[in-house]
Amino acid sequence: MPIGLSIRRVVALLLLMLASVAVAPAYAATGAPLRVCIRPALPGQDAAAMFAQADRFDCTRPQTDHGAGDYWALSQPLADTTPPDARVRQASLWQNRVTLYVRYADGAIRHVGFTSATTGRHLMLGAIVQLVLPPHHARPERLLWHIEGSLNRRGILVSPTIVDARTAARTELEMAALYAAFAGMCLSLLIYNLALWGALRRAFQPAYCLMVLCLLAYAGCSSGLIGQITDIDNNDRQRLGYALLGWSAAAAMVFARAFLERRVFDGWLRPYTTIVTLFLLLATGSYAVLSPRYADITDPLSTIGYMLVLGCLVPVLVRAWRRRSNYLWVFALAWGAPVLLAGIRVLAALNLIGWQLWIDNSTLLAMALEAAFSSLGVAYRIRLLSLERDAAREQEIAARLLAATDPLTGLLNRRAFLDDAIGRVEDHQLILIDIDHFKTINETIGHDGGDEVLRVIARALRAGAPPEALVARVGGEEFAILVPADRPLDAHAVLDRLRHERMPFDLTVTASIGTCIGPMTREVDWKAMYRCADRALFEAKAAGRDRVRNGVAMAA
pLDDT, greater one: 375 or 363: 375
pLDDT digits 0-9 by tens, 187-215: 877 887 787 777 677 777 788 888 888 88
Neighbours of 26 (CB within 10 A): 12
pLDDT digits 0-9 by tens, 261-308: 888 998 899 999 999 999 999 999 999 999 888 888 998 898 898 888
For 372-430, give the secondary structure using H, E and C: HHHHHHHHHHHHHHHHHHHHHHHHHHHHHHHHHECCCCCCECHHHHHHHHCCEEEEEEE
Selection from 371, 325, 370 nearest residue 193 by Cα:
371
The length of the chain in residues reads: 556
Q: Could you say which DSSP state residue 502 is in? A: P
β-pair type (548-550, 511-520): parallel
pLDDT digits 0-9 by tens, 63-107: 888 989 999 999 999 988 888 788 999 989 999 999 999 999 999
SS3 435: strand
Q: What is the mean pLDDT of residues 9-13?
A: 46
pLDDT digits 0-9 by tens, 157-171: 988 999 988 888 888
pLDDT at 162: 92
Residue 337's alpha-carbon distances to 309, 342, 347, 368, in angstroms, are 15, 8, 15, 10
pLDDT-derived band at 127 (thresholds 50, 70, 90) equals confident
pLDDT-derived band at 368 (thresholds 50, 70, 90) equals low
pLDDT, greater one: 19 or 205: 205
Diameter over CA atoms, the chain = 135
For residue 61, with 0-12 CB atoms within 10 Å meaning exposed, 13-18 middle and 19 or more buried, which class applies? exposed
pLDDT at 374: 62
Neighbours of 421 (CB within 10 A): 20
Kindly tell me if the per-residue pLDDT of 14 is higher than 60.
no
C-alpha span between 367 and 242 (Å, rounded)? 14
Chain mean pLDDT for the chain:
83
pLDDT digits 0-9 by tens, 30-56: 567 899 999 999 999 999 999 999 999
